[in-house]
Amino acid sequence: MADRGTGATLQELVADALRDGVDLARKEFGLFRAEMTSNAAGLAKGAAMFLAAAVFAVGSLIWLTQAIVEGLNIVTHRPWLSALIVGGALLLIAVILAVVGKNMVSASSLTPNRTVKSLKRDGEVLSERTIG
């Protein structure tokens, strides 16, 4: 780089600015890629939670519902009440798993926040260098 304090030509200053701009753009793109990779992993985990919710809901309904209803029927002596209690509990579990999965997959988790903040800082620094 040319010595900016003592008689650098306009061409040298422009060349330095272009080199700095290219270097900055390369670093920002690297940050963007790393952040998007991390966000994609979070998206995959959220999708896995939805899959787990479905597996638990179906498996529970098939394998455990009848046994639980029959066991509860011994206490209540009302098959419909036993079925209602068991169905409500299974629904609650499925809803909790779905909400957790939805939160992990939300669109805001895909926003590259660190890259946006870094670009804003870079813009402020460039503005200060241009003005100052």
**Structural domain boundaries in the chain:** 10-124
Is the model's pLDDT at 8 over the cut of 80? no
When the pLDDT of each residue in the chain is averaged and rounded to a whole number, the result is: 83
Average pLDDT over residues 70-74: 93
Is pTM beyond 0.85? Reply is no
Is the model's pLDDT at 109 over the cut of 90? no
pLDDT attached to residue 2: 47
Is the model's pLDDT at 96 over the cut of 80? yes
State both tokens at 84.
């209602």
Is the model's pLDDT at 124 over the cut of 50? yes
Rounded to 5°, angle at Cα 38 from 33 and 42: 140
Beta carbons within 10 angstroms of residue 55's beta carbon = 11
> Any idea which of 32-36, 107-111, 112-116 has the lowest mean pLDDT?
107-111
State both tokens at 11.
């061409």
pLDDT attached to residue 110: 67
Asked if 101 contacts 53 with a C-beta cutoff of 8 angstroms, the reply is: yes
State both tokens at 97.
């798993």
Q: How far apart are CA 75 and CA 4, in angstroms?
A: 88
Rounded to 5°, angle at Cα 80 from 78 and 84: 120
Q: How far apart are CA 132 and CA 130, in angstroms?
A: 6
